[in-house]
Amino acid sequence: MENLGTVLRIIAAKQTLPGALLPILHEIQEALGCIPSESVPPIAKALNLSRAEVHGVITYYHHFRQTPPGRHVVRVCCAEACQAVGGEALAEHARARLEGSDLTLEPVYCLGLCAIGPVLQIDETTLHARVTPEKFDTLMHALEEDQ
């Protein structure tokens, strides 16, 4: 219910923007880590949309999540420029390494660091270039230690 209050505050602040749905969804996800299902009806009501339309938008975009992620989100670039320098092997390694971990692993298709791959991003804040499996393990170890 505490979440619902946050959601209502965000809706009230943004609903008059032209094309307000994505800005609202982004802000909810930034505040709560995901877009909980109880936020769909008030968004739909405020923007005069059906719940199906709001749900459709949330599920269309890869960026939006309906459930909270792990303690950290680790995104490994799987696009061509990183593939050319071992990105697929890194992604394989990452899958095996983070099996059962409380870190969330996601593919990402290009971070715009295409000359210094393979690259990864942690929590949309930290970037790492020229990542080898060994460097990946060191980074993950640091994240796991940092409780």
For other proteins, which residue of 9, 51, 62, 95 counts as binding (CB under 8 A)? 62
Segment interacting with other proteins, rule: CB under 8 A, options 2-10, 19-27, 91-99, 136-144: 19-27
Q: With beta carbons less than 8 A apart as the criterion, state whether 97 and 61 touch.
A: no
The two structure tokens encoding residue 118: 């393979």
Q: How many residues bind other proteins (CB under 8 A)?
A: 42
Sign of torsion, CA 42 47 49 53? negative
For other proteins, which residue of 25, 91, 140, 143 counts as binding (CB under 8 A)? 25
Spatial separation of the C-alpha atoms in residues 62 and 101, rounded to whole Å: 21
Does residue 42 interact with other proteins by CB under 8 A?
no
The two structure tokens encoding residue 63: 């960026």
Spatial separation of the C-alpha atoms in residues 147 and 132, rounded to whole Å: 24
Does residue 73 interact with other proteins by CB under 8 A?
no
Q: Which residues bind other proteins (CB under 8 A)?
A: 18-23, 25-26, 47, 53, 56-57, 60-64, 79-85, 108-117, 119, 121, 124-125, 127-130
